[in-house]
Structure 1
């Protein structure tokens, strides 16, 4: 089994040393330096709260390492949740609850593609996205995936093996309109081709 490579970023060297030493002692976990091009599976950030400077650090980490982030914070507010998620934060631990075992659990969960949030924060995040869907996406004919109903219809038929002419006939579109829909999807979402677009729709659970 490959080791989970973790980069630790803290506000003080003593905390960094303690957290790094513990994680390094655990099976299949390796703390690595954040050198450029160093592969990293999880980033662990310890801070007082999500300040502008910390958010800027998270954006840089996302741009360079593109790994899930675990945040250990003394304080986090409702307004911090969405910016944190946008910066690849997959787990949040309150400082007072961040035992060594909980930190290890968060690292393994994030490395496996999961998330870990305290129940009140999870509920707050779900309410936020429900509000976003109701007030922003739905009035503009958009799904949370970023796809319109028409685009979802086209992708669903593509997933069943329909070609352009068959999709056009099924949806009463012109072939040019079908091609335009596909072009809009791949361009807007930066997808490589039709199979990639279908895979995206499947991953988002819309088809």
Structure 2
């Protein structure tokens, strides 16, 4: 967290873009813009990039030069790209189309204070990505579960309760095809004949 007026550095491959960003930031009395050669260590680094291609390489280079949290200006980023760049201390993302003095100053001051800023649509995509990762983790069978994952046990429990494929899919917010594929995986992997045999297996194992 920065105390006082934050010092801001700017990096961009295009010198015209860098000059424009410096001009925007120098118009903010609450910030101090540092030049690359003045020896001042910035508290926040503003990095202007294009798309995802070469983004990690660019961030790796500039953050080796300056150990400061980053406000990234970029075109559309996927959640996967965002997850890959946060390791380079990216704390805020400003879509290129949304760059203006107010948005840029808000992001820089928020990051200098220890916070972060992300576009709402990117946060939504990121949360969906994290949810998918969480679901994938459920597919790893921990010890003591008879070789069944948490998701597989949950589906077997619902089958034992008398629900059919469509009802299970609706209950768990899956597609019917996903439920069928999961059950095929269970019976094939454990050499079980059918769904009743799979339910009996889970009952004998004390899982449902």
Instruction: Compute the TM-score of the two structures, normalised by the length of structure 1.
Output: 0.58
Deviations 1:36-72 (A, max 9, x none): 97422111111221222x3112123333422211111
Confirm or deny: 8 A CA contact 2:25 2:33 kept in the other structure: yes
- Counterpart position of 2:126: 125
| Aligned counterpart in structure 2 of residue 50 of structure 1, from 49, 52, 55 | 52
Shift of residue 108, structure 1, vs aligned partner: 0.7
2:11 aligned residue (9, 12, 18): 9
Give the deviation of 1:106 after TM superposition.
0.8
CA gap 1:136/1:33 in 2 versus in 1, 3 angstroms: farther
CA contact (8 A) 2:11 2:62 kept: no
Q: Which residue of 2 aligns with 1:79?
A: 80
Check if 1:95 corresponds to 2:96.
yes
Looking at structure 2, the residues matched to 74 and 102 of structure 1 have their Cα atoms a distance apart, in angstroms, of 15
Higher alpha-carbon Rg: 2
Q: Please give the alpha-carbon distance, in whole angstroms, between the structure 1 residues aligned to 2:109 and 2:93.
A: 13
SS in 1 for 2:72: strand
Secondary structure of the residue aligned to 1:75 is: coil
Structure 2 vs 1, CA of residues 140 and 15 (structure 1 numbering), >3 Å: closer, same or farther? Answer: farther
Counting only pairs closer than 5 Å after superposition, residues 171-182 of structure 1 correspond to structure 2 as none
Distance 2:51 2:23 in 1: 23
Q: Structure 2 vs 1, CA of residues 139 and 37 (structure 1 numbering), >3 Å: closer, same or farther? A: farther
Q: Closer, same or farther in 2 for the Cα pair 1:26/1:137, shift >3 Å?
A: farther
Q: Distance in 1 between matches of 2:127 and 2:8?
A: 28
Deviation per CA, 1:149-204, whole angstroms, max 9, x where unpaired? xxxxxxxxxxxxxxxxxxxxxxxxxxxxxxxxxxxxxxxxxxxxxxxxxxxxxxxx
On the 8 A contact 2:93/2:117 being kept in 1, the answer is yes
> How big is the shift at 1:18?
1.6
Q: Kindly state the Cα deviation for residue 35 of structure 1 after the two structures are TM-superposed.
A: 5.0
Q: Secondary structure at the match of 2:109?
A: helix
1-structure distance, mates of 2:128, 2:38: 38
Among residues 20, 23, 27, which one is paired with 1:21 in the alignment?
23
Structure 1: segments with no counterpart, 5+ residues? 142-207
- Gaps of at least 5 residues in structure 2 are 143-208
The alpha-carbon distance between structure 1 residues 37 and 79, as it changes in their structure 2 partners (threshold 3 A), is: same
1:30 Cα deviation after fit? 1.2
* TM-score of the superposed pair, with normalisation by structure 2: 0.58
